[in-house]
Amino acid sequence: MEYQPKTHVNAAIIAGIIGLIWLSAIWVNLVIPPSATPAEAEEAPTLRGERIEIVMHEWGFNQLKRGGPTIEIKAGQEIEIVLTNQGKNFHSFQIRTKDGQPVAGLTKDDTIDPGATRTIKIRIDQPGEYIYVCPVSGHPEKGMQGTIIVTE
């Protein structure tokens, strides 16, 4: 009987420690919310080949919350790109030089409806690193952009 008060004190200390761990776990989740990071984008497998399937949504490509998988194509080769809009907004697909000049794909006024799929053909003759975007105003900034590498 004389040990009972001490047991209660120990139980309170343990409960306090568990409570602190629980609170700090919540705090970490609030302060550092789980979200897509550049590392996550890098983990997406590179898309290659003569037929590439791209899914568009808010605000990325192929299920990445932001950004899109790297695409690698061969210079001078005709590539089919299958574009599916799984988002709620109109989206589109355009390839640009790194300083923003369009070189292939669709314009911002030629969009794909939510739920629709369209296949386009592209060909880039100059090897190098390009970007692909959804050219609808504001969408690249929200995350709809990725890297496309054109190899020799």
Return phi, psi of residue 30, to 5°.
-75, -40
Taking the complex as a whole, how short is the minimal distance between the CB of residue 29 and Cu ion, in angstroms?
29
Nearest residue to Cu ion, scored by beta-carbon proximity: 134
- Give contact residues for Cu ion (rule: CB under 5 A): 91, 134, 136, 139, 144
DSSP 23-76: HHHHHHHHHS-----HHHHHHSPPEESSEEEEEEETTEETT-SSB---EEEETT
The smaller minimum CB distance to Cu ion, of residues 81 and 134, is found at 134
The smaller minimum CB distance to Cu ion, of residues 73 and 144, is found at 144
Taking the complex as a whole, how short is the minimal distance between the CB of residue 58 and Cu ion, in angstroms?
8
Beta bridge partners of 79: 122
Taking the complex as a whole, how short is the minimal distance between the CB of residue 20 and Cu ion, in angstroms?
44
